[in-house]
A = this chain, B = another copy of it.
Amino acid sequence: MALYEAMFTQYSTCTAQVLVTNLDFHEDQKRQNLNSTLQELLRMNIVPIINTNDAVVPPPEPNSDLQGVISIKDNDSLAARLAVEMKADLLIVLSDVEGLYDSPPGTDDAKLLDIFYPGDQHTITYGTKSRVGIGGMEAKVKAALWALQGGTSVVIANGTHPKVTGHVITDIVEGKKVGTFFSEIKPAGPALEHQTQVARNSGRTLASLHPDKRSEIICLLAELLTERREEILAANKMDMDLAVNTGLLQAAMLKRLSLSPAKLNSLALGLHQIAVAAQDSVGRVLRRTRVAHNLELEQITVPIGVLLVIFEARPDCLPQVSALAIASGNALLLKGGKEAANTNRVLHQLTQEALSMHGVKEAVQLVSTREEVEDLCRLDKMIDLIIPRGSSQLVKNIQRAAKGIPVLGHSEGICHVYVDAEASVDKVIKIVRDSKCEYPAACNAMESLLIHRDILRTPLFDRIIDMFRTERVKIHAGPHLASYLTFSPSEAKSLRAEYGDLECCMEVVDSMQEAVDHIHKYGSSHTDVIITENEHTAEQFLQLLDSACVFWNASSRFADGYRFGLGAEVGISTARIHARGPVGLEGLLTTKWVLRGDGHTAADFSEQGTMKYLHEKLPVGQPLAGQRDSN
Contact of A33 with B by CB under 8 A: no
- Contact pattern, A 308-326, Cβ under 8 Å of B = 1, otherwise 0: 0000000000000000000
Contact of A246 with B by CB under 8 A: no
Cβ contacts under 8 Å, A167 to chain B: 162
Contacting pair B434 A291 (CB below 8 A)? no
Q: Residue A163 contacts which of B163, B384, B548 (CB distance < 8 angstroms)?
A: B163
The smallest beta-carbon distance between A294 and chain B, in angstroms, is: 9
The smallest beta-carbon distance between A468 and chain B, in angstroms, is: 16
Q: Residue A554 contacts which of B433, B438, B600 (CB distance < 8 angstroms)?
A: B600
Contact of A581 with B by CB under 8 A: yes
A358–B540 Cα gap in the complex (Å)? 18
Among A304, A543, A582: residue with most chain B CB under 10 A: A543
Contacting pair A592 B549 (CB below 8 A)? yes
Contacting pair B592 A547 (CB below 8 A)? yes
Contacting pair B565 A595 (CB below 8 A)? no
Query: A368-404: which residues lie under 8 A (CB-CB) from chain B?
Result: 384-385, 399, 403-404
- Contact pattern, A 586-606, Cβ under 8 Å of B = 1, otherwise 0: 000011111111111111010
Contacting pair B108 A494 (CB below 8 A)? yes
Contact of A476 with B by CB under 8 A: no
Contacting pair A558 B600 (CB below 8 A)? yes
- Contact pattern, A 538-557, Cβ under 8 Å of B = 1, otherwise 0: 11101110111111111101
Nearest residue, chain B, Cβ from A404: B399
Contact of A126 with B by CB under 8 A: no
Cβ contacts under 8 Å, A538 to chain B: 596
The smallest beta-carbon distance between A72 and chain B, in angstroms, is: 26
* Known contacts A406-B406, A552-B597, A554-B596, A590 near B576 by CB under 8 Å: yes
Contact of A185 with B by CB under 8 A: no
Contact of A431 with B by CB under 8 A: yes
**Stretch of A12-20, A147-155, A176-184, A422-430 with 4 or more beta carbons under 8 angstroms from chain B:** A422-430
Cβ contacts under 8 Å, A430 to chain B: 599, 601
- Contact pattern, A 543-581, Cβ under 8 Å of B = 1, otherwise 0: 110111111111101110001110000000000111011
Query: A155-203: which residues lie under 8 A (CB-CB) from chain B?
Result: 162-167
* Known contacts A6-B6, A577-B406, A594-B550, A495 near B108 by CB under 8 Å: yes
Q: Residue A592 contacts which of B385, B404, B494, B581 (CB distance < 8 angstroms)?
A: B581
The oligomer's copy count stands at 2
Nearest residue, chain B, Cβ from A283: B543
Cβ contacts under 8 Å, A297 to chain B: 564-565
Contacting pair A578 B577 (CB below 8 A)? yes
A543–B594 Cα gap in the complex (Å)? 9
**Stretch of A77-85, A131-139, A259-267, A620-628 with 4 or more beta carbons under 8 angstroms from chain B:** A620-628
- Contact pattern, A 515-551, Cβ under 8 Å of B = 1, otherwise 0: 0000000100000000000000011101110111111
Cβ contacts under 8 Å, A626 to chain B: 539, 542-543
Contacting pair A582 B576 (CB below 8 A)? no
Contact of A302 with B by CB under 8 A: yes
Contacting pair B162 A593 (CB below 8 A)? no
Cβ contacts under 8 Å, A163 to chain B: 162-163
Contact of A10 with B by CB under 8 A: yes
Nearest residue, chain B, Cβ from A4: B6
Q: Residue A553 contacts which of B539, B578, B598, B605 (CB distance < 8 angstroms)?
A: B598
Cβ contacts under 8 Å, A7 to chain B: 3, 6
Nearest residue, chain B, Cβ from A552: B596
Cβ contacts under 8 Å, A552 to chain B: 594-597
A547–B538 Cα gap in the complex (Å)? 44
Contacting pair A576 B539 (CB below 8 A)? no
Contacting pair B601 A590 (CB below 8 A)? no
Contact of A228 with B by CB under 8 A: no
Contact of A613 with B by CB under 8 A: yes
Contact of A496 with B by CB under 8 A: yes
Contacting pair A602 B438 (CB below 8 A)? yes
Contacting pair B3 A553 (CB below 8 A)? no
A557–B603 Cα gap in the complex (Å)? 9
Contacting pair A630 B540 (CB below 8 A)? yes
Contact of A9 with B by CB under 8 A: yes
Contact of A348 with B by CB under 8 A: no
Contact of A289 with B by CB under 8 A: yes
* Known contacts A559-B593, A593-B564, A295 near B554 by CB under 8 Å: yes
Contacting pair A543 B627 (CB below 8 A)? yes
Q: Can you report 10 A-B residue pairs in the complex whose CB atoms are below 8 A from each other?
A: A291-B558, A291-B563, A384-B576, A426-B599, A434-B603, A543-B627, A549-B595, A553-B596, A555-B602, A581-B591
Closest 4 CB pairs of A and B: A554-B597, A6-B6, A565-B615, A434-B601
11 more A-B contacts (CB under 8 A) besides A385-B576, A576-B590?
A: A162-B165, A295-B554, A305-B576, A431-B599, A434-B601, A438-B603, A538-B596, A546-B592, A549-B595, A553-B598, A554-B599
